[in-house]
Amino acid sequence: MGFTPEALLFAVFSVSSVIAALGVVVIRDPVKAALSLIACFFSISCLFVLQSAELLAVLEILVYAGAIMVLFVFVIMLVENRDEAIVNPALGQRLGVPLKLAAVALVAFALLNGVRRAGLSTPEDLPTDFGSVSSVGHEFFDNFLFHFEVTSVLLLVGIVGAVVISKRRKPQT
Amino acid sequence: MDVWLPYAWDVVRLGGMLAILLGLAGPLTWAERRQSAMIQDRIGPNRAAIKIGNKEWRAFGLLHPLADVIKLLTKEDTVNIRADRFLYNLAPFISLVPALVTFAVIPFGPDVTINGVAYPLQVARLDAGILYMFAVSSLAVFGVSLAGYASASKLAMMGGLRAAAQMISYEVAMGLSIMGLVLYYGTLEPYAMVRAQGELLFGFLPAWGVFVQPLAFILFFTAATAENKRIPFDLAEGESEIIGYFVEYSGMKFGMFYMAEYIEVIVVAGTLTTLFFGGWQIPYLMDHGFVFPWGGGLDLSHAAVTVLRIGAFMGKLLFFCWFQLMLRWTLPRFRYDQVMSLGWRRLLPISLANLVVTAAVVLWLEA
């Protein structure tokens, strides 16, 4: 398979996703690091679109960028004191940076390797409704119903746990 | 020529979308001021004028939006010295872009057939169109909260936090209120939804969303108004108390927040039209002309039907823009705790109940 516009776009968004991921690790200001993470989610979402997984791309933005990161930014804004930078990071934090960089490098390698091979599957060998809402839905509810239900129970447990923990902090009267 | 037609069509539909959004946003600011003046028995803006010869041409104050833009563009751009300049400059863009791109999945007319090929009057026909709308519009909260955070001003921070909390809260109810419609029409694609709304219920009533899901219409409209932070939900601004997240902004950066608000008004109007009021459908107008349920009809050409339907969409869009402006000057502002309790204790349970009942009915109808 030769050089196609899709391959070029794939390269652009892989590079931007890696740079954004790097930004999350190295930027000191937590709000900007969070924004960098959002940029990373966007790039990944574009990669999904290029691989005909439109539903996944939309859900990536809707759930991660639109819901989870909004809460992240909201909490950072609430608790952060802007004048207070981390001057003397603990040992764990010092160790954390090389580990994170290594993780980013690994992802970068995987993505760039994908670019090198340009092994984007051609549309012919995919079913026409690949990645559409109905096909993903059928996969969920026909073939993976049990896993789907177990996941939702797990999420419910998480919600109940969050409520229990937040209630315990309240002074007993 | 046929080779270039698809590209020319891309220009047509993108241009159409931008013309609707940007072309209407300016006149809407005029309409808001002029209408509020009428409601409050004032005259309203009417001074801006162009002098041709000896005659001043005022056009009922319609020149004010133009004069405002010139003023905003040439105004000194002051920045608070403690502000985070990068985020401060970024915030207006993050606020404006989601408002602009949400409209991409809304069809503003039926497919136009040229030489047997159908060309859509919709920028993007996505399989998950409604999810896309929610995904993109959920990003608007970043612009608002970053503006409040980056301004280094307590009032702006209060506004940003209020806005973020309110938008997160109402997004849930807004999304859930639509799901009943999705179940009924069985699609997430706005064009297919509009198509389905051309059917008739009981042989005479158009199957518009508002007739199928009247409760969802009220829930969605309330949540969308809260999402847009307009009165009665303008806690994030509260111009008589904290001014809000854009208090430190001046010049065109403020102008961008202002524009985003009016573009969101148009987007909400477009969404209401598309989901609940049949989009470009006119009751009893089929693809080949009118067919009345009481017999008789009127045959029309494809071009005439297309023009009528685009006109119908624009008419409904303008009606809901007007309706939102009127609401703003009719209702008082909620208290903050009232906003939160309305969102979480009323709208959310009601929309959940609506969803469950709708799901049961759809299942029963299909069985």
Listed residue (B354, B243, B321) closest to B27, CA to CA? B321
Cβ-in-10-Å burial (0-12, 13-18, 19+) of A109 comes to exposed
What pLDDT is stored for residue A92 in this prediction? 67
What pLDDT is stored for residue B199 in this prediction? 84
Dig out the tokens for B209 from the structure.
């969303």
CB contact under 8 A, B127 and A55: yes
For chain B, give every domain's residue range.
Answer: 72-366
* Higher per-residue pLDDT: B246 or B6: B246
- pLDDT 10s digits, B85-132: 888 999 999 999 998 999 999 998 888 888 778 888 888 888 888 999
Partners of B286 in beta bridges? B289
Residue A37 pLDDT level (bands cut at 50, 70, 90): very high
Per DSSP, B362 falls in state H
Q: CATH assignment of A5-84?
A: 1.20.120.1200
Listed residue (B74, B70, B65) closest to B32, CA to CA? B65
Write out the H or E segment, with its range, that includes residue B51. Answer: strand B50-52
Does pLDDT of B277 surpass 90?
yes
- Contact residues of B toward A, CB < 8 A: 84, 86-87, 90, 126-128, 131-132, 134-136, 138-139, 141-142, 145-146, 148-149, 152, 157, 160-161, 164-165, 167-168, 171, 188
Listed residue (A90, A82, A119) closest to A4, CA to CA? A119
Residue A135 has phi, psi (to 5 degrees) of: -70, -40
Residue B213 has phi, psi (to 5 degrees) of: -135, 65
Write out the H or E segment, with its range, that includes residue A33. Answer: helix A30-50
Partners of B205 in beta bridges? B201
Residue B205 has phi, psi (to 5 degrees) of: -90, 125
What's the angle, vertex CA B128, arms to CA B121 and CA A133, rounded to 5? 135
Residue A103 pLDDT level (bands cut at 50, 70, 90): confident
Write out the H or E segment, with its range, that includes residue A146. Answer: helix A145-168
Cβ-in-10-Å burial (0-12, 13-18, 19+) of B111 comes to middle
Interface probe with B: pick from A36, A58, A138, most Cβ of B within 10 Å: A58
CB contact under 8 A, A133 and B141: no
Give the per-residue SS3 of B22-46: HHHHHHHHHHHHHHHHHHCCCCCCC
Determine the residue type at A69.
Answer: M
How far from each other are the two terminal CA atoms of chain A, in whole angstroms?
A: 71
Listed residue (B169, B87, B204) closest to B341, CA to CA? B169
For chain A, give every domain's residue range.
Answer: 5-84
Instruction: State chain B's mean pLDDT as an integer.
Output: 88
The answer to whether residues A102 and A110 touch, using CB atoms and an 8 Å cutoff, is no
Q: State the pTM of this model.
A: 0.87
Least confident of A78-92, B26-40, B211-225, B340-354: A78-92
What ipTM was reported for this prediction? 0.84
Query: Which of B128, B146, B164 lies nearest to residue A55, judging by beta carbons?
Result: B128
Maximum Cα–Cα distance across chain A: 72
The answer to whether residues B134 and B175 touch, using CB atoms and an 8 Å cutoff, is yes
Interface probe with A: pick from B141, B153, B176, B179, most Cβ of A within 10 Å: B141
Q: Outline where chain B has alpha helix (H).
A: 5-39, 64-74, 85-101, 129-137, 140-150, 154-185, 190-196, 209-212, 214-227, 251-276, 302-328, 336-341, 348-366
- Contact residues of A toward B, CB < 8 A: 29, 31-32, 35, 38, 54-55, 58-59, 61-62, 65-67, 69-71, 73-74, 77-78, 82, 132-133
Distances from the Cα of B219 to the Cα of B1, B105, B353, angstroms: 48, 22, 12
What pLDDT is stored for residue B218 in this prediction? 93
- pLDDT 10s digits, B25-58: 889 999 999 988 989 999 888 888 888 888 888 8
What pLDDT is stored for residue A161 in this prediction? 93
Cα dihedral B231, B279, A53, A158 sign: positive
The answer to whether residues B171 and B227 touch, using CB atoms and an 8 Å cutoff, is yes
The residue-averaged pLDDT of A87-92 equals 64
What pLDDT is stored for residue B82 in this prediction? 85
For residue B146, the chain A residues in CB contact (below 8 A) are 31, 35, 73
How far from each other are the two terminal CA atoms of chain B, in whole angstroms?
A: 51
Omega before B232 within 30 of 0, i.e. cis:
yes
